[in-house]
């Protein structure tokens, strides 16, 4: 069961995503696709506003790991390596982690 705080988090995230014509993926069974390699992601670099958003999202995910969600630890650690120069693909894959958390509370 999701707490009020996590419901607010997902509601806020989904509103932010809708404002950019994007939504959380559905039917997610793992936090990271087994074939995805962030080091081989050559999508465009994020602009300054999106870099800040990415950094905030990774901070939230790190906090979630600290609270006991060790099932996303590897994914979060991989994405944390790209805090200085994240790419569009990294951001979209971070959304997948949130989708996983939403479907696996």
What is the full per-residue pLDDT of the chain (105 aa) written as tens digits? Answer: 456 667 777 788 788 777 777 777 888 889 888 888 888 989 999 999 899 989 999 999 999 899 888 999 999 999 999 999 999 999 999 989 988 988 888
Q: Is 87 helix (H, G, I), strand (E, B) or coil?
A: strand
Separation CA 19–CA 89 (nearest Å) = 18
How much is the pLDDT for 24? 78
Rounded Cα distance, 105 and 103, in Å? 6
Q: Give the number of other CB atoms < 10 A from CB of residue 35.
A: 5
Domain that holds residue 22: 4-103
Residues 6+ apart with CB under 8 A from 14: 23, 24
The domain tally of the chain equals: 1
pLDDT at residue 75, rounded to an integer: 92
Predicted structure pTM score: 0.84
CA 50/CA 63 separation, integer angstroms: 20
């Amino acid at each position: 069961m999701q707490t009020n705080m996590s419901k607010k988090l997902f509601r806020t995230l989904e509103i932010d995503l809708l404002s950019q014509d994007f939504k959380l993926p559905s039917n997610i069974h793992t936090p990271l696709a087994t074939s995805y390699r962030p080091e081989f992601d050559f999508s465009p670099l994020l602009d300054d506003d999106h870099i800040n958003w990415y950094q905030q999202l990774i901070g939230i995910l790190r906090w979630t790991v600290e609270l006991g969600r060790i099932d996303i630890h590897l994914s979060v650690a991989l994405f944390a390596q790209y805090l200085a120069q994240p790419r569009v693909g990294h951001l979209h894959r971070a959304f997948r982690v949130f989708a996983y958390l939403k479907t696996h509370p």
